Amino acid sequence: MRLVFADHEPHLKPNPRRDHMSGVPELSYSTLDRHGGRVLAPGQVMRTAGQSAPVGTIYRYDRLLVDESVIHDSETREQLEKAIRPTGMLMESQAARSIVPGQGSYRVPVLSNHGDQAAVDAWSLLQRLRTMNDETSLSGEILDKVRLEHLMICSKGNPGVSGGEPPVADSRAFGLGRIPVDMVNPMPSRKQLDRRLRVAVLDTGVPNRHPAFDVSDRTEDEDTFVVVDHAFQAKLGEHSDSPAAPLDDPWEGPVHEPTLIGEVASHYGHGTFMAGLLRQISPDVQLYSLRVVHNDGLAYEHEVIAALHHVADQVEAVRRGDSEAFGVDMVVLAMGYVDESPDDQPGGWIGEAVHRLAGLGIPVVAAAGNQSSDRPFYPAAFAAHSQVENAAPVLSVGALNPNRHIAMFSNEGPWVSCYATGAGLVSTYPCEAKGSRMPDRRAKSSILNRHRESHDPDDFSSGFAVWSGTSFAAPLAAAFLLNAITDLGVTEVDDAIQASARAHEALKRLKSR
């Protein structure tokens, strides 16, 4: 395995001939309905006169992201509510609060019908607000503070399969589907260290028990490989505004989606697989697991933003001398979205959260996406955006096949920083995962008290699996960078400048190998 860097600095390059739906993942109707999601297809939606047509994305149709300055100022909030009222929709923001006080800078107002005047749709509402020309019109300053909330998709598996797995035997499949395997090699031992590098992984979580690693809560102050945060998860659950099950527990689950089929959920085990890759390549680090992704692979933009600010708050608290804080040295993200802006320049607050971490000297390593597209996939594509002075790097990571060629499913483009192996990887998987798919053949053994059978495609009791995706290239790239930082011998840093310099020096050494 190796890390292959682009031979240029990441940058955004407009593509006027791009398919407007390029990069938009295919999701089943039931998955969209579970999260109140809707696909923005440029030819099927209202658009503002005189403005460029949007490009495709996926958003929550009855939610908006609104800057807290609008909500907290009674006069401004009244202006917004007054402007919305003629559209036939109402804004019910009183139930939505910031998950991270003081740093979220957004609220999630709920939109609802008012009579039969209009269907609830956040995109249509935004277009109407921009075209109003009467006493209810809003200023551009206020309009810039009201945006869509995107549904973010985890970057695993195979594109074009509507949330399912490709047939393992189908040679035409872009990626190799998740299948159970056994691990022959033991996990590398961990050294006893006074100070470990710590990496935050924002994903589907990890099981509370797995033979490959131990787990504890951050309040227990134990030197386990995985540390979870019950307090953060409880807060996330408390403020949940979704019809889907709240992410109020750090452990992955349930195993199956709420259907009658009984198959293992499409992204169940995703966070465990990422954790296992880090455990294999960089065993002496500590993983801080925050669960922000549902088991069907979807995450809400505002919850991801909240988790990023939560991590940044902890870093700042550590540097102020707070002994209770839990700082990190790196952040890994495997989810993202394509923005509706025709110039691929996203608005909103997720960029602010990523840039805040980089400004604190914390590298952010993000998966480039699995849509076989060159369209910028955010937050990975923030690697192509300019950073403040002395900021740590933001890396966007595409996937390689084992033969070092770019995987067919991987996104690529001038905004991708580097590529790591992301196809046919072996890593940890929750042992309790067992689905309804059966072996092709099964018979009773004539000698032992067990069955003879062909490979069971979804019995993961071995605790390991083969899987593919840029989701898994990202933690590998992060592990290489963590190991390079370790080789520098600089485990303690006092401020953002030192932390950023350490990250850039480690990255420079990786590129020179």
Cα first-last separation, the chain: 13
Determine how β-strand 364-367 pairs with β-strand 394-400. Answer: parallel
Q: What is the mean pLDDT of residues 81-101?
A: 72
Residue 248 lies in a domain: yes
* pLDDT recorded at residue 315: 97
Answer yes or no: do 95 and 158 share one domain. no
Q: What is the mean pLDDT of residues 405-434?
A: 96
Whether pLDDT at 161 is above 50? no
Answer yes or no: do 125 and 181 share one domain. no
Q: Which residues, 6+ apart, have CB-to-CB distance to 122 below 8 Å?
A: 59, 60, 61, 62, 63, 64, 111, 148, 149
Answer yes or no: do 270 and 298 share one domain. yes
| Residue 162 banded pLDDT, cuts 50, 70, 90 | very low
Query: Torsion over CA of 103, 109, 110 and 111, rounded to 10 degrees?
Result: -150
Answer yes or no: do 139 and 167 share one domain. no
Q: What is the mean pLDDT of residues 297-302?
A: 95
Domain count, the chain: 2
Specify whether the backbone of 454 is left (phi greater than 0), alpha (psi in -120 to 50) or beta. Answer: beta
* pLDDT recorded at residue 17: 62
Whether pLDDT at 16 is above 70? no
CATH code for the domain in which residue 331 is found: 3.40.50.200
Q: What is the mean pLDDT of residues 75-99?
A: 77
* pLDDT recorded at residue 1: 64
State both tokens at 414: 């001038």
| Residue 107 banded pLDDT, cuts 50, 70, 90 | low
* pLDDT recorded at residue 267: 95
Specify whether the backbone of 424 is left (phi greater than 0), alpha (psi in -120 to 50) or beta. Answer: left
Helix, strand, coil distribution of the chain in percent, nearest 5: 25, 20, 55
Whether pLDDT at 190 is above 50? yes
Q: Between 243 and 237, whose confidence is greater?
A: 237
Residue 1 lies in a domain: no
* pLDDT recorded at residue 165: 43
Provide the CB-side half-sphere exposure for 271 (13 A, CA).
30
- Report the range of poorest mean pLDDT among 47-56, 283-292, 331-340: 47-56
Answer yes or no: do 147 and 162 share one domain. no
| Residue 98 banded pLDDT, cuts 50, 70, 90 | low
Give the whole-number percent of the chain exceeding pLDDT 90: 63
State both tokens at 367: 């998966």
| Residue 70 banded pLDDT, cuts 50, 70, 90 | confident
| Residue 490 banded pLDDT, cuts 50, 70, 90 | confident
Q: What is the mean pLDDT of residues 270-296?
A: 97
Residue 4 lies in a domain: no
Q: What is the mean pLDDT of residues 195-199?
A: 96
State both tokens at 72: 């907290």
Q: What is the mean pLDDT of residues 469-485?
A: 97
Answer yes or no: do 140 and 248 share one domain. no
Q: What is the mean pLDDT of residues 26-44?
A: 90
* pLDDT recorded at residue 217: 97
Q: Between 475 and 239, whose confidence is greater?
A: 475
Whether pLDDT at 12 is above 80? yes
Give the whole-number percent of the chain exceeding pLDDT 70: 90
Whether pLDDT at 440 is above 60? yes
Whether pLDDT at 99 is above 90? no
Whether pLDDT at 486 is above 90? yes
Answer yes or no: do 326 and 408 share one domain. yes
Known catalytic residue at 270: yes
* pLDDT recorded at residue 308: 96
* pLDDT recorded at residue 340: 92
Q: Is the dihedral of CA 328, 330, 333, 337 positive or negative?
A: positive
Answer yes or no: do 282 and 359 share one domain. yes
Answer yes or no: do 93 and 169 share one domain. no
Whether pLDDT at 173 is above 50? no
Q: What is the mean pLDDT of residues 1-13?
A: 87
For 124-164, the DSSP string reads HHHHHHHH--STTPPPHHHHTTEEEEEEEEE--S-TTSTTS
Residue 12 lies in a domain: no
Q: Between 44 and 123, whose confidence is greater?
A: 123
Answer yes or no: do 120 and 217 share one domain. no
Q: What is the mean pLDDT of residues 90-104?
A: 59
Q: What is the mean pLDDT of residues 424-437?
A: 95
Residue 277 lies in a domain: yes
Q: What is d(CA 184, CA 119) in angstroms, rounded to the nearest whole number?
A: 56
* pLDDT recorded at residue 101: 59
Q: What is the mean pLDDT of residues 30-51?
A: 84
Residue 450 lies in a domain: no
* pLDDT recorded at residue 106: 61
* pLDDT recorded at residue 221: 94
* pLDDT recorded at residue 50: 64
Q: Round the average pLDDT of the chain to a whole number and report it.
A: 88
Q: Residue 463's closest CA among 493, 437, 433? A: 433
Catalytic residue selected from 203, 229, 241, 344: 203
- Out of 8-12, 26-30, 480-484, the most confident range is 480-484
Catalytic residue selected from 35, 210, 267, 270: 270
Residue 448 lies in a domain: no
| Last residue within a domain, chosen from 152, 172, 206 | 152
Answer yes or no: do 162 and 69 share one domain. no
302 touches 94 (CB < 8 A): no
Known catalytic residue at 284: no
Known catalytic residue at 512: no
Per residue in 199-208, pLDDT (tens digit) is 999 999 999 9
Determine the structural domain holding residue 500 and report its residue range. Answer: 154-185+194-439+457-512
Residue 24 lies in a domain: no
Catalytic residue selected from 98, 468, 471, 500: 471
Q: Between 368 and 71, whose confidence is greater?
A: 368
Answer yes or no: do 141 and 247 share one domain. no
Whether pLDDT at 175 is above 80? no
Q: What is the mean pLDDT of residues 85-113?
A: 66
| Residue 183 banded pLDDT, cuts 50, 70, 90 | very high
State both tokens at 337: 């979205």
